[in-house]
Structure 1
Amino acid sequence: MPKVAVLPGDGIGREIIPEALKVLQAVLSDSPLKFEFANYLIGGAAIDAVGKALPADTLTACQEADAVLLGAIGGPKWDTLPAQERPELGALLPIRKELGLYSNIRPVKMIPSLISASTLKEDVVKNVDMVVIRELTGGIYFGEKGRQADPPAAYDVLLYTEDEIRRILELGFVTAQGRRKKLCSVDKANVLESSRFWREIAEDMAKTYPDVELTHMYVDNAAMQLVRYPEQFDVIVTENMFGDILTDLASMLGGSIGMLASASMNGKKGLYEPAHGSAPDIAGQNKANPLATILSAAMMLRYTFDLNHEADRIENAVARVLEQGYRTADLAKPGDQILGTREMGEAVIAAL
């Protein structure tokens, strides 16, 4: 029996996860596979309950599960805690490291009915169809950190090993092979030694993938190109901090970060979560957009369980709901029919 560890987390996480689970149960109702879904604490909710952002039983459950479905964590309530005890550093980074989730995959594709939701002009975003792959367990976020007293200063070390770079680049090349065969490696090789090392390895690996066109782009230029001419990109691969920034930027190409699903992978095992945060300002008000979480659940069926038909059904149902004119508040324009979190989940189930 496939096991999924479910981590609702904080804020709107506790509202969007139930909608994703309802959609999963609906699409899997005729499947011979019988899934086991079990909820566990993480983030601020775990701090409040047991005093730790990533309880031992949660980590064990995630290690034993075939996949993890995460809502969102964090909020101002816990911002006064020491950095290492906060939900983000105390739970999110450790779970990625402990599960070996070295790659984050975020597809960004314009759904035609959402073109008007984007803040960019229609002719800029109408053909957007890309995948951004971010290295997730190395770089400056995981490097040595510290402060010194005299003179007062702080430092964060950016370190990448050759193996870490090769495995994320390999995923980039393989992903590009299955798409339009274009891979853009984003770095800052004009300034950073780590980026020069990254680029050297990319060039060496390109010899093994002659069918893929490899290009390089500095991260500042990549940010500009994403809003100037995004359809030029097929697959983007980049390091941890650059990817953290570029994936949020890319989310707006599809109309809202509330539509952006993601998978953090280690082979077939993955942690699936929406790209947005816990949005405490709207938590508990039935206003959150559950579609990114529902689409993350579809990615889980596709990437971990090879249930491509069921994943297609969910993705097509989301597209149909949007084509029918239904919107959550983050996607709406004057005259649109606005649905709450629960109602949007029910609309997706109806469209199945």
Structure 2
Amino acid sequence: MAALTPKVVAPAATAAGAGAATGPLRGTHPAVRIAGTLGQRVLMLVVLLAVVFSAIELLPGDAASASAERGESTADLAERRHLLGLDRPVWERFISWMTALPTGDLGTSARGQKVTELLADPLPNTLVLALSAFVITVVLSLLLGCWAAARPGRLTDRTISHATTAAFAVPEFVVSALLLALSLWTGWLPAVTVTGGDGRPATWTMLIMPVLALVIPQTGWNTRVVRGALADQASSPHVEAAHLDGLPLRRILMSHQLPGAVPAIATGIATSTGLLFSGAVVVETLFNYPGIGTVLAGAVAARDTPLIAGVVICAGAVVSLVLLAADLIRHATPGVRA
């Protein structure tokens, strides 16, 4: 466990991630660096989509056989494969899907419905879930990280360090299962989500358990990032000078350490966005939440490649925008060079 202390791992991990993203563009104009970073994000997303198409192709069965009804003949399956385009090479289907993407066409699912229509309701639900968890995670991480940094080496610092390490070490499905059991035992909050006529949770209280299941692990990680970034800044010359001048510790923390730690903190928080979306797949399934996680689970079972790719591109676009925002913060922070 000692190897996971925030003072060592968190700053190093975030700095490495930031450097890897923009290292080759160092020394160029900020606009060029940002454009280059955006190009890298887009390229990575295209590669990810190619991997998705290839991975689904390697799974046993296909969308035609997964949606087949009892008693269908081989000829019927062959006809369905032709209608779904499954008799074409996977690379050809991928290029066809990608060329239609700029027009907003995400293809047609194995059930014959437009992917955009299938995601019209679940995607906003997931965005509400992820955004709520993201905001709460940021606030808690900053509060806990600053609280621990204001008392370095003391009981508060050690307690927060151990607690957040344990929180991050527990997977989302374990946290979800514990919260689900707690909800069923106490009856204080809804254990499962019931949707209304508009396809959204019937009451806002049904968001609490799924949000907590995402917040707890991510707060553990990001608190370590905040604490580690502030610890790095504590040894900076201007911070040491502030101590020699006799400034209050709180003022040193907020006015001298925190501004310099913003780039590392922004990068760590932005990175956790992807983990929020990946965790949402498990959390939404366990709590019966009507989001893209539930759609994705069903799409994988049905070998529905266009629907899976649609979920991936939507989630990837959101994560890429958050990462781009983190890059902009790093470039805009005085004294910081990417």
Structure with more of its chain in strand, by fraction: 1
> If you compute each CA radius of gyration, which structure gives the higher value, 1 or 2?
2
Which interval holds the TM-score relative to the shorter structure?
Answer: under 0.3
Which fold has the larger relative contact order, with Cα–Cα distance below 8 Å and residues 6 or more apart in sequence?
2
Q: What TM-score do you get using the length of structure 1 for normalisation?
A: 0.24
Q: What TM-score do you get using the length of structure 2 for normalisation?
A: 0.25
